[in-house]
Copies of this chain bind each other. A is one copy, B any other.
Amino acid sequence: MMKRKILLDESEIPTHWYNVIADMPNKPLPPLHPGTQEPIGPEALAPLFPMELIRQEVSGEKYIEIPDQVRDIYKLWRCTPMYRAHGLEAALDSPARIFYKYEGGSPAGSHKPNTAVAQAYYNKQEGVKKITTETGAGQWGSALSFACNVFDLACEVYMVKISYQQKPYRKSLMNTWGATVHASPTDQTQAGRKILEADPDSPGSLGIAISEAVEMAAADEQTKYALGSVLNHVLLHQTVVGQEAVKQMEMAGYLPDIVVAPFGGGSNFAGISFPFLRLNIEEGQKIRCIASEPASCPKLTRGVFRYDFGDTVGMTPLLPMYTLGHDFVPAPIHAGGLRYHGAGVIVSQLLKDQLIEAVAHKQLECFEAGVLFSKTEGIVPAPETTHAIATAIREAKRCKEEGKAETILIHLCGHGYFDLKAYEDYLAGKLVEHEVTSDEIKASLAKLDTPVPE
């Protein structure tokens, strides 16, 4: 009988996070002060983050130990299973071997708790009482709500308004774990009021919600801010996924030719791919690590490598990243978690150095992939996750054309149980494509007066 799942016992949860910076040939450029445009040190982040997370943000150490209390909470859902996608393979009639690493079994239904628990833990250790954050589709907000509940911290979530309306169950989930949820933009912050004055019907964006959450955290000493992607320490925490996956692929007896993950800010791509990149760097393997982004928010495939703000209003340090411009407002696609104008610093440098690849998919191709996956593997993937499946299907079809039995590993980072309205609309033929023109991208980038990295 065929083998479908490769499990690891909780005793095999990694003991350390893997820091890819240690292995990068070109290290990321330093962040700049938003006013002076001079390089800033870690102390500039102190109003927003606890010291240990700042230390991790700038660390060059290759491995950083995971605290026992964090690993203990990880056990609620880790190690996560690896599946061989026999059903999908049969439907595609491709010689490609397809595997997926499934993170949807976590309390919040995605990979996000991997960093949320770590961040809440360090905040608690340093005496913080409340954490603010933003959320797109709600994956990150619910993960942080769960984590704050575990460590008895208050949690305030600024949820992008379009997602707040599309995904009411996500709000209820956060409430069940004790968090407070606001539809962003709100009139409670200067950043929110500024947006609402310009456009009272603004659907919101991750960039705007970040501005609001950061403003609230900066205003109160016992309140800190947490980000669910983009930053180095967030990507770092996600590497438990890839470390487990390396072990599970060894158990399966195949080294992947391709590792693919959806791309929003970088955390789920980093989580699965960095431990495989290590194999490329250390052992000379040739694993293709592919980031899959939405065609309506194509910073990796159509953006520029430039210093830019992490938020919309311009409160954060300037970061060297692939970006569409910080006030680019992506179309309201259902993959809300991917509606972010920029890419994390590490991923941006890796792409610039051609150590990773990027592709873009339109919304309908992704939902088609999601429905096929649901029918063949039983798991309904989140709209974000369907992007990676769409890439895997493209690659499997190429393998069929070329007669190659390549091995493809998908990061199946979240389930779509909260996104079924989107599936219903897709099945009813109601979903529309959202395209972004070159002129729109040019116009957004033309507004940037930030430094160009050398």
Query: Is there contact, CB below 8 Å, between A420 and B68?
Result: no
Query: What 0/1 pattern do residues 422 to 438 of A give for CB contact below 8 A with B?
Result: 01100100000000000
With contacts A417-B109, A420-B173, A424-B172 taken as known, whether A72 is within 8 angstroms of B378 at the C-beta atoms is: no
Smallest CB gap from A4: residue in B: B75
A60 within 8 A of B: no
A9 within 8 A of B: yes
A14 within 8 A of B: no
Query: Is there contact, CB below 8 Å, between B172 and A423?
Result: yes
With contacts A10-B3, A177-B374, A417-B418 taken as known, whether A379 is within 8 angstroms of B107 at the C-beta atoms is: yes
Query: Is there contact, CB below 8 Å, between A173 and B3?
Result: no
User: Hey, which chain B residues are within 8 Å of A109, CB to CB?
Assistant: 417
Query: What 0/1 pattern do residues 52 to 90 of A give for CB contact below 8 A with B?
Result: 000000000000000010011001110000010000000
What's the Cα separation between A7 and B378 when bound, in Å? 21
What's the Cα separation between A140 and B118 when bound, in Å? 37
A28 within 8 A of B: no
A194 within 8 A of B: no
A222 within 8 A of B: no
- A173 CB contact (under 8 Å) in B105, B107, B380: B380
A1 within 8 A of B: yes
Query: Is there contact, CB below 8 Å, between A5 and B1?
Result: no
Query: What 0/1 pattern do residues 113 to 145 of A give for CB contact below 8 A with B?
Result: 000000000000000000000000000000000
Query: Is there contact, CB below 8 Å, between B378 and A107?
Result: yes
Query: Is there contact, CB below 8 Å, between A177 and B375?
Result: yes
With contacts A76-B377, A427-B176 taken as known, whether A68 is within 8 angstroms of B421 at the C-beta atoms is: no
A254 within 8 A of B: no
Query: Is there contact, CB below 8 Å, between B177 and A68?
Result: no
Smallest CB gap from A109: residue in B: B417
Query: Is there contact, CB below 8 Å, between B176 and A420?
Result: yes
User: Hey, which chain B residues are within 8 Å of A34, CB to CB?
Assistant: none
A186 to chain B, nearest CB (A): 20
Query: Is there contact, CB below 8 Å, between A423 and B176?
Result: yes
A356 within 8 A of B: no
User: Hey, which chain B residues are within 8 Å of A379, CB to CB?
Assistant: 107
What's the Cα separation between A263 and B172 when bound, in Å? 26
A301 within 8 A of B: no
With contacts A3-B10, A68-B1, A75-B4 taken as known, whether A375 is within 8 angstroms of B421 at the C-beta atoms is: no
A276 within 8 A of B: no
Query: Is there contact, CB below 8 Å, between A176 and B72?
Result: no
User: Hey, which chain B residues are within 8 Å of A5, CB to CB?
Assistant: 10, 75
- A421 CB contact (under 8 Å) in B7, B172, B417, B421: B172
Smallest CB gap from A374: residue in B: B176
User: Hey, which chain B residues are within 8 Å of A10, CB to CB?
Assistant: 3-5, 7
With contacts A2-B72, A7-B7, A10-B5 taken as known, whether A378 is within 8 angstroms of B175 at the C-beta atoms is: no
A183 to chain B, nearest CB (A): 15
Smallest CB gap from A169: residue in B: B420
Query: Is there contact, CB below 8 Å, between A417 and B378?
Result: no
A146 within 8 A of B: yes
User: Hey, which chain B residues are within 8 Å of A76, CB to CB?
Assistant: 4, 83, 377-378
User: Hey, which chain B residues are within 8 Å of A444, CB to CB?
Assistant: none
Q: Which 9 A-B pairs have the closest CB atoms?
A: A107-B378, A172-B420, A172-B424, A4-B75, A169-B420, A417-B417, A76-B378, A176-B423, A176-B374
**14 intermolecular pairs with C-beta atoms under 8 Å apart:** A1-B72, A3-B10, A3-B75, A4-B10, A76-B378, A77-B378, A105-B105, A106-B378, A169-B420, A172-B420, A172-B423, A172-B424, A173-B423, A177-B374
A169-B417, A173-B380 known; 15 new pairs, CB 8 Å cut-off, are A4-B75, A5-B75, A76-B378, A105-B105, A106-B378, A107-B378, A107-B380, A146-B378, A169-B169, A172-B427, A173-B420, A173-B423, A175-B427, A177-B374, A417-B418
